[in-house]
Structure formats: C-alpha cells, structure tokens
Structure 1
Amino acid sequence: MFDIWKQIKGQRFAPVYLIYGTEPYLINETKQLLIEHSLNEDELDFNLASYDLEETPIETALEDAETLPFMGERRLILLQNPVFLTAEKPKSKVEHNVAKLEAYLKEPSPYSIVVFSGAYEKLDERKKITKQLKKTAAIVEAKKLGENELKTWIRERAALNGVQIDEEAVELMLALAGTNLFMLTSEIDKISLYADDEKRIDQKMVEKLVARSLEQNIFALVDKIVHRKIDEALRIFYDLLKQNEEPIKILAVITGQFRLIYQVKELARKGYGQNQMAGQLKIHPFRVKLAAGQAQLFDDQELSAIMSQLADADYQMKTGGMNKTMLIEMFLFKLSALK
C-alpha cells in the first residue's frame, strides 16, 4: 500500500486502480492522493469525474475515460460502488455492460486514470471480470489493520513525514490515540511537525502532545484504578470534568471497560485466543490485549462486586439519588479499597 502511495506521490500512475475493503481511511486517503498528484488545481473542474455505479452504467463512465483531457495531460475517473465485482445483490436496477469493461481493461486509455473503489470486505473471485480487474489494476486492499500492522503503519507514516519514531513511542501512541487511522494520522502528522528539528519522535513527545479521546482518558483512568493509584485516578477524573465531560458519560465508559475486562476473562477461561475474542466481541485485537492485561489484576469475586457497584451508581445517577460527581468518587474509593 505504501509503495503505491509513494508511486502516486512520485507521479508514477497506473492506468487502473482497485481500492476495496472496510477501512474508510485507506480508501479516502488513496483517492485523495490521486486527486492531489495527478491533476493541477485548475484542471479539477475539467478533468475530474466521479460516478456512483449504483446509479450510472459502467459504459457511461468508460466513455468519459476515453474522452481526451481538456487543458491537461490526463483525466481522473472515480468509480464508486462497483457491486458487480461482488456476490452482493445490487441495490439498484442499473444494468452494466461488463463486456465493455472487459474490452477497456485489455487496452486502457493512455490519458486516463480509472479508479474503482468500494467498501467491500471481499470480492467475488469466481467472476471473470473480477479476475481480469485484479490482474490489470494496481490494488489497495483497505482492510482493518491488526496490532503489528498498526505499528508498521505508525512507523511508515512517520517516515513519510521524514522522521523516525521510537518503539516505546509507537506503543504509547496506540494506547493513547487508539486504533482509528484518521486520529492516528492526525496525531503523527502533528507530532512530526514538532519533531522536525530532531527528526525523531520519542515517548515524552507522545505523552506531551497526543490528544486523548474520552475513551482513552477513561482507559488511563481504569488503568490507574486497577493499579490502586487512586490519587492519579482522581486527577484524571477531575480533568475530565474540567473538559465538561458529563459524569454519567464517564460512568458509562468506565462500565463498558470493566464489562470488557469481565468478558475477556470469561473468554480466556474458555480457551479463546485474543483474535478469537476480538471477533466474538467485535472490537480491535489491541483493545483485547489491553483488557487481558487488566483482567489479570482482578479475581472473579472482585469483578462481580465492581459490576454491582457500577450498576448501583448508574441507578443512583439516573434517579437523582445522589450527587453525580460524588457517586464516581465513592466508586473509586471503594474500588481502591478492594484486596
């Protein structure tokens, strides 16, 4: 993928691209790079065209691709939702002349870049047109990245910005910013500017500069709790209140994290691996890894007591039984007293 991006930035273009998968960032970023590097700004109105293939027949789009560019070297044709490459049933009644596409792929226009993109987990490899397109096109498989792939992503994104990132900083970046590629990219690009003089991102820079989401702050809060660091946990909680986060929302995310710890502990007892747990719980494997580490610090009796306390605090908040801030403070103090 990064090789294809480097080629695009170097203005070495393939005549046809195929971008598919369930990671929207990779799809959007590849298309944006093609727009930025294949056309000048004053050419966009004339030489950029976009078609939704759930609304437009493929032959209409290909006619555009075979049209000479106006005041420029090339045309860029973006074709979204090529459902005929999958086993899915079309949502619309648009009929596509696939034979026209087969003929085009044998001899693509030398002055056009045609880009097929779709949020499909997989294509129908049994279809002749799918086989032909995958053989002809430059392919970007926009799949969700695993933990090791995310670490590679962070390192390579930093390298694209001309900086190196320490391994400890990579680990901390994932823990603080999460696994969302839009957020990770934003944070890496921001820190790369800060590190421009040294050309190196270290752990201290990440700790200082990465913006925490509510969920990541809650994870840090829970992490302090499980290690019985009540003063630091309260400090994070009060910082969240200063950021105008509602106590009921904070409690909901704390509850979600402890529910995850409980679920991971149960699945581990049944012999599930981390990837199996991620599939069962429909979350990223990295979150399972973090929760598994926390689960080791609680026995079953403690987790049952914690879930009961959280349920009671939730009830008290929703019925107005006690001050909301005080309810979370009481929960933290009770939790710190366990063991």
Structure 2
Amino acid sequence: MPIYIYWGEDDYAIERAVVTLRDRILDPLWTSFNYTSFPPEQSDAAIAALNQVMTPAFGAGGRLVWLMNTTLCQNCPENVLAELGRTLQVIPENSFLLLTSRNKPDERLKSTKLFKQLATEFREFPLIPPWKTELLVQAVNQAAQTVGVRLTPQSAAVLAEAVGNDTRLLYNEIEKLRLYAIEQNRPIEVDTITRLVRNTNQNSLQLAAAIRVGDTGKALTILADLINAAEPELRIVATLVGQFRTWLWVKLMVESGERNPGAIAQAAEVANPKRIYFLQQEVQSISLRQLISCLPLLLELEVSLKQGRAELSILQTKVIELCQVCRRN
C-alpha cells in the first residue's frame, strides 16, 4: 500500500525523509499538480487528504498527499475512521499518502492498527538520548557518509560531543566541513573540528560532570551557556536524570561486588560494556548515598518545570543543591 507514517521528535530527520520521499515520487515538471500538503490547522484536513489521494496523478510521476503533524494516530473521529476504512485499501497505485507527527501513535486506536496493517513504511524518528555517546558517534559517522565527509574516529567523537543530538546542527556543521575539505583528500582531523565547529555551547553531559564533582561555579556557567543556546530545559533535565541513573547503577553494582563489565552494562542499560571502565572511574569519588540523594532533587526539578515555574531560577537553585549534595564527604 502506498502509505507512509513518519513520527518522532527528530523534526529535521523527518524533514529529510519527507524530501527524499517527495523527490522519489514526484516528477519535477508536474510537482505543482501532484503535490499537496494539509496543515494541522485545517479542520477538514483528513477528509480532504483522502479525497485528494484518490485523484489519479497528472502527467509523469506520482501524486503525494501529505498530512502534516496529524493526530489521526492519537485521536481519530468515527467519521474519519470510517473514511479511512473505505479509502486506504483502494488508493491508486501511483498515489501516495504521507502522515507525519511528533507524537507516538496510540497502539490501542483502531486507526493506528489500520495504518500499521496497511502502511508501506511505519517509521519512528527518535532523538538519541544525549548520554548515549556511542549512538551519537554512530549518527555522526552516518551523516558524514551521507554528505561525503571523511572523519577520523577521534574527530567523529569530538563532533558528536559538540552537536549532541541536534540533527539539524549536525548536518549544518558537516556541510561546513565538506566545503572546507573539498580540495583535501584526507580525513578531517580533530584540530579542524575544534576550529570550525561551534562548540561554545556546553552540553548537558558536561553539566552532569560538573555537578558530580560539586563544582558549583562551573556548573552554573555551563547551565547559562545551555540556556543561552536555547537548549530546552526539560531536555537538560532528561540528560541529567539519565546520566545520574547510569552512575547510580554502576556504583550499586560495583559496591555489591559485581566485577563483570557485561553484567554491569546490562543493569545500567549501557550499550557498550567497554564504557563501564570509564564510568567506574567517574563514580569513584562519589558515594552511593550521594547519588541516591540526587535523584529526588532531579525529580523535583522536572515536576517544577512541568508545572510552569520560572525555568532559569529553579534550574539554578537545583543545580546548586545538587552540587552541595555531591560535595559532601
């Protein structure tokens, strides 16, 4: 069935996938006739899109109908569900229906079940958690291969640290590197990454590291850099929670007598057991009690932000409290 469902928080990755699909389906000379997008603000978008996708394509190429940021997989009215049931299985072979959404489809809905049954592609575009460094490096290498940039393993790691899980920034920086190295026939080294890639904005993992050692001044400076770089507050907290949770599990397993890196990695949900050695070094100077005490503070911070309290002041307050906890003997 010519139906595509793209969803997830990585807006830029979805945009790239949509462009790829559009270029594959449409003939450039007939795009204005065969390409229609329906914004979520349009009240009858779903019904109008289904009617449009049933129209045969004009001229060469196919027809693409895009329901942008739709909620059909979260909340589908009965009349729309009935229309989906009548239409989806009889879409012309050369017409394609695309649905995109930031929100996860509700697996319990009849509309979601119908789309999963009939869709050619039902694909998630998640943001990589900032603390999953192996996946971030992998994403950097994939993007570099796509754009045609050669990186050394060290430069890929530095670039991953600089851009985090911001896919749009990643491709912008790699495109910059491609233009710089267009006449060079060798991989881009770390010093080039350092000079060219914007890394003035500290990342949330560096904030977690500063908190872990109780360096209040550095932690507040990194926090200010993150806020100035428009890093979402809840994303900062999510990174802190993930990192402190990982440290807690590693410390708990080590103090319980576990020495097998594979077992520790499995308990801490760390993909690469080789990373356990470095995590063990990081938690040597902090006690299990301190790590346990940090988690309620992080939970309070998350709840406060979701309740709409002043972001900067509550973040600064909790960062100071976390540093005080980690600095205790």
TM-score between the two structures when normalised by the length of structure 2: 0.60
- Among 195, 214, 237, the alignment partner of 2:201 is 214
- Report how far residue 277 of structure 1 moved: 6.7
- Among 129, 136, 143, the alignment partner of 1:150 is 136
- Among 2, 20, 26, the alignment partner of 1:33 is 20
Please say if residues 262 and 295 of structure 1, whose CA atoms lie closer than 8 Å, have aligned partners that are also in contact: no
Question: Distance between the aligned counterparts of 2:277 and 2:33, measured in 1?
Answer: 50
Please say if residues 251 and 283 of structure 2, whose CA atoms lie closer than 8 Å, have aligned partners that are also in contact: no
- Report how far residue 45 of structure 1 moved: 3.7
Q: How does 1:52-71 map to 2 (within 5 A)?
A: 52=39, 55-56=43-44, 58-70=46-58
Which amino acid is 1:185 matched to?
Y
Aligned to 1:115: 98
Structure 2: gaps (5+ residues): 254-262, 295-312, 314-319
Question: Distance between the aligned counterparts of 2:108 and 2:172, measured in 1?
Answer: 35
**Deviation string, structure 1 residues 307-333 (Cα, Å, up to 9, x no partner):** 9xxxxxxxxxx9xxxxxxxxx9xx9xx
Which amino acid is 1:138 matched to?
E
- Among 267, 287, 299, the alignment partner of 2:286 is 299
Please say if residues 43 and 71 of structure 1, whose CA atoms lie closer than 8 Å, have aligned partners that are also in contact: yes
- Among 163, 174, 177, the alignment partner of 1:191 is 177
SS at match of 2:148: coil
Aligned to 1:75: 63
**Deviation string, structure 1 residues 93-135 (Cα, Å, up to 9, x no partner):** 8554122234325xx332x33212223434528855234323x
SS at match of 1:191: helix
SS at match of 1:78: strand
Which amino acid is 1:210 matched to?
V
Question: Distance between the aligned counterparts of 2:101 and 2:240, measured in 1?
Answer: 36
Is 1:166 aligned to residue 152 of structure 2?
yes
Question: Distance between the aligned counterparts of 2:239 and 2:55, measured in 1?
Answer: 55
Question: Distance between the aligned counterparts of 1:262 and 1:27, measured in 2?
Answer: 30
Please say if residues 58 and 96 of structure 1, whose CA atoms lie closer than 8 Å, have aligned partners that are also in contact: no
Please say if residues 172 and 206 of structure 1, whose CA atoms lie closer than 8 Å, have aligned partners that are also in contact: yes
Question: Distance between the aligned counterparts of 2:178 and 2:99, measured in 1?
Answer: 32
Question: Distance between the aligned counterparts of 1:258 and 1:83, measured in 2?
Answer: 31
Aligned to 1:314: none
SS at match of 2:145: helix
SS at match of 1:49: strand
TM-score between the two structures when normalised by the length of structure 1: 0.58
- Report how far residue 270 of structure 1 moved: 4.2
SS at match of 1:116: strand
Please say if residues 46 and 80 of structure 2, whose CA atoms lie closer than 8 Å, have aligned partners that are also in contact: no
Q: Percent identity?
A: 18
| Residues 222 and 15 of structure 1, relative CA distance in 2, 3 Å threshold | closer
Q: How does 1:216-295 map to 2 (within 5 A)?
A: 216=203, 265-271=247-253, 292=279, 295=282
Is 1:177 aligned to residue 163 of structure 2?
yes
Question: Distance between the aligned counterparts of 2:70 and 2:175, measured in 1?
Answer: 32
Aligned to 1:46: 33
SS at match of 2:184: coil
RMSD of aligned C-alpha atoms?
A: 5.4
Please say if residues 38 and 45 of structure 2, whose CA atoms lie closer than 8 Å, have aligned partners that are also in contact: no
Which amino acid is 2:89 matched to?
A
Which amino acid is 2:115 matched to?
T
Question: Distance between the aligned counterparts of 1:201 and 1:33, measured in 2?
Answer: 27
How many pairs were matched up? 280
Question: Distance between the aligned counterparts of 1:64 and 1:117, measured in 2?
Answer: 17
Please say if residues 80 and 117 of structure 1, whose CA atoms lie closer than 8 Å, have aligned partners that are also in contact: yes
- Report how far residue 78 of structure 1 moved: 0.6
